[in-house]
């Protein structure tokens, strides 16, 4: 039977430096999945990449196939093979449970954050679109979403669920206290940036938005009663802001060391705070070396998240009970999937005898019913079936002799 597996890096196993080396944009997923799927022994594949994780969910024939897949992914991303030291591997029920926990927000840095559901759906949609999913991962995806819905509705975890964007704003509040008179620049207008903007708007911060696509910045600024800064003017006006929150899909630094050095000088060394929630990072880490400049990246948000985790640990435990209930159901389905092939083989191999002998037909029907009831006993039940058929044939031969 094929192996269900998970391989990857996440905020628990690897620092942001490693995660950003493997980080994949939507275009990357379209480019990477097809060649990875052609690796001998790889049957199904989904690639999930968020700010906190890069994980492969797959179905494979062997460990060799999985190892080849990992090596190929690392090579295609141009990363050092040593990155595997900070990776993790799960198979079977542990892999299934991990996928269900990820989809439910139980494995997120901020436990219960809702954004992961849309990211999970997007990863599946792309994999399915390029022909990388099949019967097993399609079912796994459906059950993961069912588990996520149960966790949200049957526990109190979603009542206190907050996103990484919210944690970023909480960090800004720790730094400045009241944000009502603070000038904040939001670089990027994607989903995470939009969440940041909504939180900041509630706190009455003076909000400015810049984005490579000017129209998108205009739309978001209008919605949130903020102001727009043209992206090409970013470097000239960086000095005007107290807090800069960066969340874009850029693969290179949007803000570099020299730009910040000039900005802080023009501010007469008045403190400037950067929060970079992009992966790959969009602010050169060297910026943190500049006097009166404070830079926080996605890993720095973990401290804030851990406090929230302690407050919601009881709800997380309830969620994990639901996860394992759904894992048990999925494992039963997998057992049935195994025996369906066996049942088809029995029907095909005994087709002629079934047509000729009502007794064999009854035995086949009974064997199939018993196998479906108890998939784990399939092998033993087949042996019993074969013995009963042999006994029936012996009795039939003896009956012919006596007659």
> Can you list the pairs that 138-144 forms with residues at least 24 positions away whose Cβ atoms lie under 8 Å?
139/330, 139/333, 140/4, 140/57, 140/96, 140/99, 140/330, 141/46, 143/100, 143/326, 143/329, 143/330, 144/99, 144/100, 144/102, 144/103, 144/104, 144/120
Crossing angle between the packed helical segments 313-349 and 378-402, to the nearest 10 degrees: 20
**Structure tokens given for 22:** 């493997």
> How many CB atoms within 10 Å of residue 95?
21
CB 278 within 8 A of CB 309: no
Crossing angle between the packed helical segments 358-373 and 378-402, to the nearest 10 degrees: 170
| Widest Cα–Cα separation across the chain | 114
Report strand pairing: 88-91 vs 3-10. Answer: antiparallel
51 is catalytic: yes
| Catalytic residue of the set 24, 51, 132, 196 | 51
List residues with catalytic annotation: 51
């Amino acid at each position: 039977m094929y192996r269900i597996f998970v391989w990857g890096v996440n905020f628990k196993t690897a620092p942001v430096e490693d995660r950003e080396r493997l980080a994949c944009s939507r275009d990357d997923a379209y480019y990477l999945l097809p060649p990875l799927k052609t690796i001998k022994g790889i049957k199904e594949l989904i690639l999930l990449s968020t700010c906190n994780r890069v994980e492969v969910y797959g179905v494979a024939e062997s460990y060799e196939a999985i190892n080849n897949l990992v090596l190929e992914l690392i090579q295609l991303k141009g990363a050092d093979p040593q990155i595997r030291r900070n990776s993790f591997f799960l198979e079977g029920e542990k892999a299934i449970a991990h996928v269900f926990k990820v989809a439910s927000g139980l494995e997120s840095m901020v436990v219960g954050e809702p954004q992961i559901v849309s990211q999970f759906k997007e990863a599946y949609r792309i994999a399915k679109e390029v022909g990388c999913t099949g019967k097993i991962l399609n079912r796994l995806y459906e059950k993961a979403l069912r588990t996520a819905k149960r966790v949200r509705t049957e526990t109190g975890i979603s009542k206190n669920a907050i996103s990484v964007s919210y944690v970023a704003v909480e960090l800004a509040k720790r730094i400045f206290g009241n944000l009502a008179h603070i000038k904040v620049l939001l670089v990027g207008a994607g989903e995470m940036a939009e969440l940041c903007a909504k939180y900041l708007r509630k706190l009455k911060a003076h909000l400015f938005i810049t984005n490579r696509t000017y129209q998108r910045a205009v739309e978001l600024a209008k919605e949130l009663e903020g102001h727009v800064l043209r992206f090409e003017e970013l470097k000239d006006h960086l000095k005007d802001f107290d807090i800069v929150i960066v969340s874009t899909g850029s693969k290179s630094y949007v803000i570099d060391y020299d730009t910040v050095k000039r900005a802080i000088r023009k501010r007469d060394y008045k403190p400037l705070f950067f929060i970079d929630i992009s992966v790959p990072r969009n602010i050169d880490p060297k910026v943190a070396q500049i006097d009166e400049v404070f830079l926080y990246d996605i890993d720095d948000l973990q401290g804030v998240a851990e406090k929230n985790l302690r407050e919601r640990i009881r709800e997380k435990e309830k969620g994990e009970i639901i996860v394992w209930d759904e894992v048990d159901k999925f494992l039963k389905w997998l057992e049935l999937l195994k025996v369906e092939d066996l049942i088809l083989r029995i029907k095909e191999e005994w087709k002629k005898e079934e047509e000729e002998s009502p007794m064999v037909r009854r035995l086949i029907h009974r064997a199939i019913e018993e196998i479906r009831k108890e998939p784990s006993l399939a092998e033993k039940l087949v042996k019993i079936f074969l013995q009963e058929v042999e006994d029936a044939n012996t009795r039939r031969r003896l009956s012919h002799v006596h007659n």
